[in-house]
Amino acid sequence: MEIINGLLDALQPSYLISALIGVLAGTLVGVLPGLGPSATIGMLLPVTLLFGDPGASIAMLAGVFYGAMYGGSTTAIVANIPGEVASIPTTYDGFPMAKKGRAGQALWISAVGSFFAGTIGLILLTLVGATLARFALSFTPAAYLALLVFALVAVICLNEGSVIKAIGAAAFGMVLISVGVDEVSGGQLRMTFGIGVLREGLELVPIIVGLFGVTEVLMSAESGIKSFHSGPLGKMMPRGKELKRGFAGILRGTALGFPLGLLPGANPAVASFMAYDLEKRVSRHPERFGRGAIEGVAAPEAANNANAQAGFIPLMSLGIPTTSSLAILMAAFMMFGLQPGPLLFTGDNAGIAWAIIGSMYIGNVMLLVLNLPLVGLWAKISVIPIKYMGPAILAVCIIASYSTRNSMFDVWVTIVFGVIGYLMRKAHWPLSPLILGLIIGPMIEARLAQTLSLPNGLGTLVSTPVPLIILILTIAIIAVSVRLRRVIPTEHREEMLEEAS
């Protein structure tokens, strides 16, 4: 069985070390307010070229992504500081539990819930991923075009800010990636304005590093560090009714978070808020929420971890990233010559794909083992002043962008897009649609050209069953987005926009 071989490959030293580095970095990212997984993955993207092993490099970046979901809960519970926007609902009952001397129980149910949800997500990825990829091999250009449009529309509609701004951001990304040689038309230059260096186009890595790394430094420089609440952790494992309610919340959070993770734009933060809302609705005593209800911690944490793992199914099977973090991870695949999608599970690539999945199983176990013993350390790290971390992060961004092509032009690109990202964030323009536009813009262009060359042209989208079904789902996602907007509290809309970025 492929997963057994993948697990054996993942036990090699290179994969074990990469997974450990990834989950440690992800946990650190999770406990540090403001520094999200997207920024960290973007900064580490060019560094992974030094590893030489594509699978181990991607395993490390994946560890950063799902590790951040674990780390965000620690300071949310013990210090009322959500490291990630997805951990905001955890503060509602996690911090009240900590103030009552029950921080240990909140941390325990959070870690176990995260591990359970993440593992269930991986099992479903194992069972569904390769099968879905084989099904996608039969997709016509029209079907793939419809799928790409679905992803783009979903990200725009599920964005918590202005839909008009989301459309503008996606269009901006597609325009940026069009600079240089037009391979579809046979080598025609586009938007180079007579500047020689633009003939080669704009590299994805410097743009991403600028939009996330440099922008995060600029945004964090404006924020202050909150105080750290140092109270007793208390007993670690809940018992009796508390344990029963906690596990019930884990099951419901997992059941809700996983299917949402399959939808582009429904990021872990969306799943977390929806899971908390669901718990209050199904509870016989909703008045307990906000005062230390253990299921109010368990459900959001399970939901955001199940959501994070579910996102790897459309990414690896269909080549569709559902969040900005996964879009950057997709860039990592492409940087190593691996095209996420149907062909990833075939030929020589299959071994790497299953090894990456195997490393995720191991990474989840590492996170469970590491989180509780080091909880005090992670909480204290969260108060490191930005004046110390900012310059270090900025230096990494500059080095990372220069190493892409050993060009100062890419450094300037990083700086310029750092400023652009900062201005967009201040004006509440989402970065997630922009990143998706950068990633799938060329794919949409290529599939559109192929579809137009067919006898029925764009009519194929409605005259064949698969594209028609996807278009119907695209319309359905617009309706779903209206409902999702009502679940997220108004006061957190701005924070949700930050998470999508």
DSSP state of 196: G
| 182 bridge partner residues | 188
- Per-residue model confidence (pLDDT) at position 474: 84
- Structural domain count, the chain: 1
pLDDT digits (tens, 9 = 90+) for 68-85: 777 777 767 776 666 566
Provide the domain limits for residue 67. Answer: 2-500
Rounded mean pLDDT, 387-393: 71
Which range scores top for mean pLDDT: 220-224, 258-262, 477-481, 482-486?
258-262
Distant-in-sequence, close-in-space partners of 34: CB < 8 Å, separation ≥ 6: 216, 219, 220, 223, 386
Going by pLDDT thresholds of 50, 70 and 90, the confidence category of residue 362 is very high
Distance (Å, whole) CA 335 – CA 440 = 15
Task: Report the mean per-residue pLDDT for the chain.
Answer: 78
179: left (phi over 0), alpha (psi -120 to 50) or beta: beta
**For residue 250, what pLDDT band results from cuts at 50, 70 and 90?**
very high
What local confidence, expressed as pLDDT, does residue 420 receive?
Answer: 92
Q: CA-CA distance, 71 to 304, in Å (whole number)?
A: 12
Q: Which pLDDT value is given to residue 98? A: 80
> What per-residue string of b and e applies to 60-84 under the rule 16 or more CB within 10 Å gives b?
bbbbbbbbbbbbbbbbbbbbbbbbb
CA 140 vs. chain centroid, Å, equals 28
Q: Check pLDDT > 60 for residue 382.
A: no
Q: What is the mean pLDDT of residues 298-316?
A: 88
Contacting residues for 77 by C-beta, under 8 A, at least 6 apart: 90, 91, 94, 95, 97, 98, 103, 106, 107, 110, 297
DSSP E strand stretches across 274-319:
none
Residue 226 has pLDDT above 60, yes or no: no
Token pair in block for residue 360: 């995720």
Residues 6+ apart with CB under 8 A from 463: 456
Beta bridge partners of 181: 189
pLDDT confidence band for 158 (50 / 70 / 90): low
Q: Are 361 and 119 in contact (CB under 8 A)?
A: yes
pLDDT above 50: residue 56: yes
Whether the predicted pLDDT of 173 surpasses 60: yes
Q: For the residues 248-262, what does the mean pLDDT come to? A: 87
What's the rounded Cα separation, in Å, for the pair 373 and 383?
A: 19
Contact 106, 98 (CB under 8 A): yes
* Mean pLDDT computed over 312-334: 83
Average pLDDT of the residues in 213-231: 63
Q: What are 4's two structure tokens?
A: 């057994």
pLDDT at 227: 44
Residue 153 CA: distances (Å) to CA of 172, 281, 463: 15, 30, 21
* Kind and range of the H or E run holding 180: strand 180-182
pLDDT at 35 over 70: no
Residue 228 has pLDDT above 50, yes or no: no
pLDDT tens digits along 409-467: 888 888 899 899 889 888 888 877 887 788 778 878 888 888 888 888 888 888 888 88
β-bridge mates for residue 190, sequence order: 180
Please write the tens of the pLDDT for every residue from 58-67.
888 888 888 8
Over residues 329-356, the pLDDT tens digits come to 888 888 888 888 878 887 777 888 889 9
- Shortest CA distance to 278 belongs to which of 307, 306, 257? 257
CB 132 within 8 A of CB 317: yes
Query: 3-class DSSP state for residue 336?
Result: coil
Instruction: Give the DSSP letter string of 10-65.
Output: HTSHHHHHHHHHHHHHHHHHHHSTT--HHHHHHHHTTGGGGT--HHHHHHHHHHHH
Measure the CA–CA gap between 122 and 132, rounded to whole angstroms.
15
pTM: 0.71
Question: Can you give the three-state secondary structure of 182-194, one letter per residue?
Answer: ECCCCCEEECCCC
For 366-398, letters b (16+ CB in 10 Å) and e give bbbebbbeebeebbebbbeebeebeeebbebbb
Bridge partners for 188 per DSSP: 182
- Helix segments in 372-464, DSSP class H: 375-381, 386-405, 408-426, 432-452, 460-463
